[in-house]
């Protein structure tokens, strides 16, 4: 049993797609997210770094005091299942992005689904919707996130 768990973990880790900060910056630059001029490319790259470490397969489960899963955050931008997408825990939630949360989990550089949903989120709530951005990026000098990306 322990061997099966270790093998499963190794397979999951080996299939993860970790983008570079410049790949994230390029994807954002070439997307609708660049039209939100109150936020820079560095804001998005900083947020993705602190939210998922640029891992397209990242899933974080938020648990309540009882240990029960309250919601899950998916993908490179850690999109919350409680409000923005549908998963097993919240199949009937608001699902504002009208997407299954699993579309944010990809082993590729294609993060267009993540970008489309992030655009809806930022349009409704700004980047304040992401705790990782508020705590690590907002109001800070973050230009180094896009240095040497040659965008």
pLDDT of residue 105: 95
- Say how many C-beta atoms besides its own lie within 10 A of residue 87's C-beta: 19
| Structural domain contains residue 7 | no
| Structural domain contains residue 129 | yes
CA separation for the pair 14, 10 (Å, rounded): 6
pLDDT of residue 140: 97
pLDDT of residue 11: 40
| Structural domain contains residue 10 | no
Domain count of the fold of the chain: 1
CA separation for the pair 80, 131 (Å, rounded): 11
| Structural domain contains residue 124 | yes
| Structural domain contains residue 68 | yes
**CATH value at residue 79:** 1.10.530.10
pLDDT of residue 8: 33
* Residue-range definition of the domain harbouring residue 61: 24-146
* 101 Cβ contact list (under 8 Å, min separation 6): 72, 74, 79, 81, 85, 86, 87
If the chain, 151 residues long, is cut into consecutive pieces of 10 residues, what is the mean pLDDT of each piece?
Answer: 35 69 97 97 98 97 86 96 91 93 93 98 98 98 96 88
| Structural domain contains residue 54 | yes
pLDDT of residue 7: 32
| Structural domain contains residue 16 | no
């Amino acid at each position: 049993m322990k061997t099966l768990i270790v093998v499963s973990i190794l397979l999951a880790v080996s299939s993860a797609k970790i983008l570079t900060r410049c790949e994230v910056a390029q994807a954002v630059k070439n997307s609708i997210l660049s039209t939100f001029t109150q936020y820079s490319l560095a804001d998005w790259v900083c947020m993705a770094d602190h939210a998922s470490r640029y891992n397209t397969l990242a899933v974080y489960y938020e648990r309540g005091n009882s240990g029960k899963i309250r919601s899950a955050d998916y993908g490179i931008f850690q999109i919350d299942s409680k409000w923005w997408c549908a998963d097993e825990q919240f199949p009937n939630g608001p699902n504002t992005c009208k997407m299954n949360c699993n579309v944010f989990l990809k082993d590729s550089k294609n993060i267009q689904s993540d970008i489309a949903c992030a655009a809806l989120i930022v349009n409704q709530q700004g980047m304040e919707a992401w705790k990782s951005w508020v705590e690590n990026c907002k109001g800070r000098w973050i230009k180094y996130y896009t240095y040497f990306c040659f965008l």
